Structures are given as C-alpha cells and as structure tokens.
Amino acid sequence: GRCRLLCKPSALAQHLVGSLGRSAALQGGRWPWPCWPQLQMLRQLLQLPEPEPVVARELLQLPDSGLVALDWLVGPRGARGGGGSPSPVLLLIPNAAGKVTGGLLQLGLRALERGFVPVIFNRRGHNGCPLTTPRLQPFGDPGDLREAVTYLCCRYPAAPLLAVSEGSGSGLLLAYLGESGSSSRLAAAACLSPVFRGRDWFEAGMPWLYEWPLLLHLKRGLSRYAGSLAEAVDVDRLLGSRSLRELEEALFCRTKSHPTSWEAYWERNEPLRDADEAAVPVLCLCSADDPVRGPPARSLPLELFRSSPYFFLLLTPRGGHCGFPRRGPGRCWGHEAVLEYFRAMAEFLRAEERRKGLPRPR
C-alpha cells in the first residue's frame, strides 16, 4: 500500500522490499475510523485476543536473587501446536509498564499457529512476577533481558532466537541489541511502534488516555511491594506520582542509597546510546500518526536508518500506536508484517549460507 521502507541499500534490504511488497498483509483493507489514532490506541489497550491463550509461567532467578517471569504460550484453551516443539523461539517484550496487551497476546497466538515457540518476558515486579529484591529494572538496562536470552539459548541450543517488542518496551530491546553487539544471540528482531528517545518521550508526556491507565497499572503493581521498596525509595512520593516521568524519577533517580540526576540516568538508559554497535537486523514498524511516540520529525531517528545496514524502518501514514488495524481475522496487519519479515530473514540467511557454502551455526 502506502508503506515506505527506509533503510541503507543492501542485498538484505532488496530482499525485504520484494518479500514485504508481495505480502498480503501490506495490501490490507481499510478500518472504519482510519483518522482516529486515539480510538485505535484505546482499542489496542482494552481488546482481549479471541480465544484467550493458555500461558505456562516459569520463574527465572537472576544472579542477585531477583526474579523475572517467562510466560510460555501453549495455545488456546490448552491446545498445543502440532508436531512437537516448533524450531524458532519468539521472545515477546511488553511495554515498559509491563502491560501485556491483547495485541501482544494476539501476535503470540499468530506466531504459535505458524510454528514458533512464543514466550513473554516479564520484568521484575511486573505482571504478577514476585519482587524479591528492592530493585526494579530501569528503562534501558538490558541486564535481566540478557540473562533470559542466555537461558533460552541453553534450553533451545539449536533453535533460532527472535525477539519482538511493543511500544515503550522497545527501549529495552534496542538497548540490549546495542550493548550486546554481535554477541546478542538473536537472529533477528522487530519493534512495533517503538520509542527511540526515552528522555524526550518522558519529558514530552503522552495523551492522558494512554498515560493514566499505564500509570495506574504500575502503581497497583508497586503498591503490593510498598513495604520492601520503602528501604530503597520514598514510597509516598512514588505512589503519589502524577505522571510516568515523576514515577520514573521516584523509582530510579531519587533513591535513598544511590540518588542520581535525571540527566545521568538517561546517559545510562537511552535506548539508542550504543545503536552503532548493533549487529542484528531490526525491523521498526512505525505509524506517522502515532499519538504516543510523537511527531515523526522529532521522534524518528531517520539518519540511523539511512546509515546502519541493520536498521529498517517500515513507515505507514496511519496505524496509531501498536494498532495497524484492518477488518476481518488477524485484525492487526502489523503482526502479519512482522511474521513475514522473520520468514524473509530466515529465507535470506539460508540463501546466503548456500551461496557461501557456510556450515549452519550450531
């Protein structure tokens, strides 16, 4: 349709242009209210997948005795994917508030139908994951994600590992890719409506329709651990926060043991601080009318996509925030585009191995 792929010219880029151009997902039908991104955003936050998937939770203990949760999608109403375990493992990363939206679950179900092993990464204290230490994960600190990736690679040593993030959760994935470089262990990654500039995003604020539900969602989860957090932060200030920025400052800047400035915090947590080191193909699916990320002119790092051979921007004029709606089954064409991208990536890598006569990595 009217999507544009912005990237540095390469053989991989040429292959993606052909594959995505032939994809039925990008020819998708119209939605009844294409000009209401706020409504698309509300629909994306509130809608549950049909049918709702069954999830098996696994807790992973970290070196400092903290816990993260891995939720394995095992199919609707207990049904499992046929033919044993599928080969590619797909790691799903929710937004920074830990809100597992219906859209993310729907993407997991679509992936399950296509032979992936989908698993959701839940940060410390998010989505019912117990908080065993008075420490949460900063916006762009990939340490816990690295432990989860290492575990998945040990559990599925011969399987390709892919990752996809939603909204502000992309800050974590982008930081991980930059900090890990060629040691990321991922074959490919994708970001749905990513937030590229964390500090600017927090300072600009968001539509109340999006910010207040996420703020209440975070406060409700943190209030369960008010007693243990009291030794590290000012809980009254934390629970009295009136914006996501105030809450972020209370959690990570105004701490009792190691207080820091807002500027120093973002020097360590900006998603793109090490973007030049990334060595994994990343598709970023963005909409020009995204009311959460902000106007494209100030929120999209266009020069990064023009200069890096690993970053690909699929830009659509309408789609809202993580919405990309269409009528009929599979109502988010963005999910189909991401799964088509992973298919095209695997096809390209197999062709390169045959062309160069390289042995498949073990």
**How many CB atoms neighbour CB 62 within 10 A?**
17
CB 353 within 8 A of CB 360: yes
| Angle separating helix axes 333-356 and 11-22, nearest 10 degrees | 140
Q: Which amino acid is at 261?
A: S
Cα(259)–Cα(250) distance, integer angstroms: 10
By DSSP bridging, strand 117-122 and strand 89-93 are parallel
> Is 236 noted as a catalytic residue in this protein?
no
Q: Name the active-site residue from 71, 141, 289, 290.
A: 290
Q: Name the active-site residue from 126, 144, 289, 321.
A: 321
Instruction: Tally the residues of the chain.
Output: 362
> Is 321 noted as a catalytic residue in this protein?
yes
CB 70 within 8 A of CB 120: yes
Query: What is the DSSP-derived secondary structure letter of residue 25?
Result: G
Phi, psi of 163 (to 5 degrees): -140, 145
User: What beta strand segments (E) does 251-334 contain?
Assistant: 282-287, 311-316
The set of catalytic residues is: 290, 321
